[in-house]
Homo-oligomer: A and B are copies of this chain.
Amino acid sequence: MSKPKVLVVGAGGIGMIGAYTLHYNKRCEVSVIVRSDYELARKRGINIDSVAYGKVDNWKPANLAANTTEAMEAFGPFDYIYLATKNIPDGSNKCEDVIRPAVTPGLTTILMVQNGIDIENAMFEAFPANIVLSGVTLSGAQNLHLEVKHVGPEVCTIGFFKHPTIDEKILEAKAKEFIELYSNDLNTITYEPDVRSSRWRKLVYNASINPITALAGLDYSRVELCDGRATVLRPAMDEVVKVALADGYIIPDSHVQAMLEVSSGLFYTPSMLMDVRNNNLTELEIILGNCVKIARRHEVATPVLDTLYALMKMKQFDIKEKNGIIKVDTTINKDYSTYGKGF
């Protein structure tokens, strides 16, 4: 029997370590999409400096493509897509559109190794006949023009998103099949029977620390120096816990405490702050937007998260305008003399 085919989409640190892990395990045929640095990947290969796999220079994936259309033609159809792109539903590049050319209905299982909550809905809508898995990973990896730095050993939980029509037994088997392909002695991959639970737990960190550092323009240590843990991180996390509870998930206080501690003392730049600094769109909607929407549905008051979300929507607007995605007609300024009436 031929090996299953896995396509890795999303060439950030997580995607690269995912691709190398599958390559290292030799249990599947790995195809990798490298978009912007495609020529460099083809000619020189990828350099990896990994806490788990050591130094690997000039690694050339056996199957390399510049986009999913080319990948499908040359190496498809795919049993799995390991999806590790950024997930920006309010951007011009929705991840379901990115993978569409490589998805075979009824065959391809999509593993979403992405942040956020309620991310499966857009996937089910785009691909109603496909299985969608959830991967909540922590790997401490980054990729800058094919120089991959992997500083934290990968800890990942994988499970299935409940599908509207496909039986749970089949979904579970598929999740476990992928775990077989992906596990080795150098990572810790566990089956997660309730993926929404793991997503809520990660959201405690992501929905608070990401927007707060992004809005402050400060790394984690500096936020701590400003007493941010007490003044805004903890209040934001407490609201995430309340929303999760209304959604049916109990997050113990020990977990919140652990999330507060996890980056303590690190001059660490969370992804949203990195994005704001680099003038890139952030994963605001799936991380904070969906959390706030769930809160509204359950009528849970979340004034801190609402404030962070409103401000981050403005940052996102600013980034969209700076990238030419939206245009503002600044000539329709009202008469300035009205300013100040009524004080």
Q: Is A196 an interface residue (CB 8 A)?
A: no
User: What are the interface flags for A303-318 relative to B under an 8 Å C-beta threshold, 1 for contact and 0 otherwise?
Assistant: 1101111110111011
Q: Is A178 an interface residue (CB 8 A)?
A: no
Q: Which residues of the other chain, B, contact A202 by a CB distance below 8 angstroms?
A: 343
Give chain A's interface secondary structure class: helix
Q: Is A212 an interface residue (CB 8 A)?
A: yes
Contact across chains for A343 and B225 when beta carbons are under 8 A apart = no
Shortest beta-carbon distance from A307 to chain B in Å:
4
Q: Is A278 an interface residue (CB 8 A)?
A: no
User: What are the interface flags for A204-218 relative to B under an 8 Å C-beta threshold, 1 for contact and 0 otherwise?
Assistant: 010000001001111
Q: Which residues of the other chain, B, contact A332 by a CB distance below 8 angstroms?
A: 265
Question: Considering residues A235, A304, A314, which has the most beta carbons from chain B within 10 angstroms of its beta carbon?
Answer: A314
Contact across chains for B343 and A216 when beta carbons are under 8 A apart = no
Contact across chains for B328 and A222 when beta carbons are under 8 A apart = yes
Taken together as a complex, chains A and B put the C-alpha atoms of A115 and B222 apart, in Å, by 29
Q: List 15 A-B contacts (CB under 8 A).
A: A138-B343, A140-B340, A151-B336, A151-B339, A152-B336, A155-B340, A216-B311, A216-B315, A218-B318, A221-B330, A226-B314, A236-B307, A262-B342, A266-B336, A307-B308
